Amino acid sequence: MPDRTNHPSLEDIRAVPIGEIAALPADHLALLQEDAEAALAAAKATAEWIAGAIALRYADRARAERQAENKDTGTVRFEDGNVTVVADLPKRVDWDQRALAAVIERIRAAGDDPGEYIDVSYKVSERKYAAWPERIRAAFAPARTVRAGKVNFTLTLKPDG
């Protein structure tokens, strides 16, 4: 087991040239790597904890703002004191592959090119879907599921003045 008392710390090496760090004994590099990975894991856990607190504080208000703007997903902005809160709830759309395949066969049988409406992988671009005529959207609607993604909040301090 390497001696943890006689190796540089992460704080010690922040200003050390990378060549000097590379020249350290292998056990020191291994310990530094372990320390860096542990610090990264701790920072990620702290960031997730803070993100959870921010979501707890602003989720209801963001939901109300979206509802007031008559949208289920997307970005809303609002103020909390000297902070602008941006809440982004991305739209995630899933398509039933079997249902899409059946629609493709009906389009082909009608003499149309399914490639005009969908991607070969049986994924449908949301922009294309929104631009289609109603009769085409109605045929694809049973294969479409819309769900919300993970909400993200960005807090920005306003300049004084």
Average per-residue pLDDT for the chain: 90
Which residues lie below 8 Å from residue 134, measured CB to CB, with a gap of 6+? none
> Tokens 């049973």 label which residue?
142
Least Cα distance to 77 among 47, 90, 69 occurs for: 69
pLDDT reading at 117 higher than 60 = yes
pLDDT confidence of residue 4:
61
Instruction: State yes or no: pLDDT of 2 exceeds 60.
Output: no
Report which DSSP code applies to 141: G
pTM: 0.61
Residue 151's pLDDT band (cuts 50, 70, 90): confident
Going by pLDDT thresholds of 50, 70 and 90, the confidence category of residue 120 is low
Cβ neighbours of residue 39 closer than 8 Å, sequence gap 6 or more: 10
Is residue 64 within a helix (H) or strand (E), and if so which, with residue range? helix 26-68
What does the pLDDT look like over 36-56, one tens digit per residue? 999 999 999 999 999 999 999
Domain layout of the chain by residue ranges: 1-70
Instruction: With CA atoms as reference, report the closest residue to 148 among 71, 79, 85, 86.
Output: 71
**Which tens digits make up the pLDDT trace of 54-109?**
999 999 999 999 999 999 999 999 999 999 999 999 999 988 988 988 999 999 99
